[in-house]
Homo-oligomer: A and B are copies of this chain.
Amino acid sequence: MERPSLESFTARHHLDSRSLCAQIVEAREGTIAVRSAQAATDNLTRIIEATLRLANRKGFAAMTLRELARESGLSLGGLYAYIGSKDELARLIQAWVSRTLRRVMASALEGIEDSRSRLATAIEAHLLTTEALREWFFFLYMEAHHLASDERRQAVAAERNSEQIFADIIRQGQAEGHYGAMNADIAAGLVKAMLQDWYLKRHKHGERGLNVATYADTVIAATEALLAARA
Chain A residues engaging chain B, CB cutoff 8 angstroms = 56-59, 61-62, 142-143, 145-146, 160, 185-186, 189-190, 192-194, 196-197, 201, 204-205, 208, 210, 218-219, 221-222, 224-226, 228-230
- Identical subunits present: 2
- Determine the distance from Cα of A61 to Cα of B58 in the docked complex, in whole angstroms: 10
Quick one: given A59-B61, A59-B146, A61-B59, are A226 and B230 in contact (CB under 8 Å)?
no
Closest Cβ of chain B to A136, distance in Å, is 16
- The answer to whether A208 touches B186 (Cβ under 8 A) is yes
Quick one: given A225-B226, A225-B229, are A145 and B142 in contact (CB under 8 Å)?
yes
Residues of B near A208 (CB, < 8 A) are: 185-186
Q: A59-B61, A189-B201 are in contact. List 15 more A-B contacts (CB 8 A).
A: A57-B146, A59-B145, A142-B142, A185-B208, A186-B218, A189-B197, A189-B204, A190-B194, A190-B197, A193-B194, A194-B194, A222-B229, A225-B226, A225-B229, A226-B226
Closest Cβ of chain B to A49, distance in Å, is 18
Quick one: given A194-B193, A196-B193, are A146 and B58 in contact (CB under 8 Å)?
yes
Residues of B near A228 (CB, < 8 A) are: 225
Q: List 13 A-B contacts (CB under 8 A).
A: A59-B61, A59-B143, A59-B145, A61-B62, A142-B142, A189-B204, A190-B197, A190-B222, A194-B194, A221-B226, A221-B229, A222-B229, A225-B228
- Determine the distance from Cα of A224 to Cα of B226 in the docked complex, in whole angstroms: 8
Chain B, Cβ-Cβ closest to A222: B226
Chain B, Cβ-Cβ closest to A205: B189
Quick one: given A58-B146, A185-B208, A226-B225, are A218 and B201 in contact (CB under 8 Å)?
no
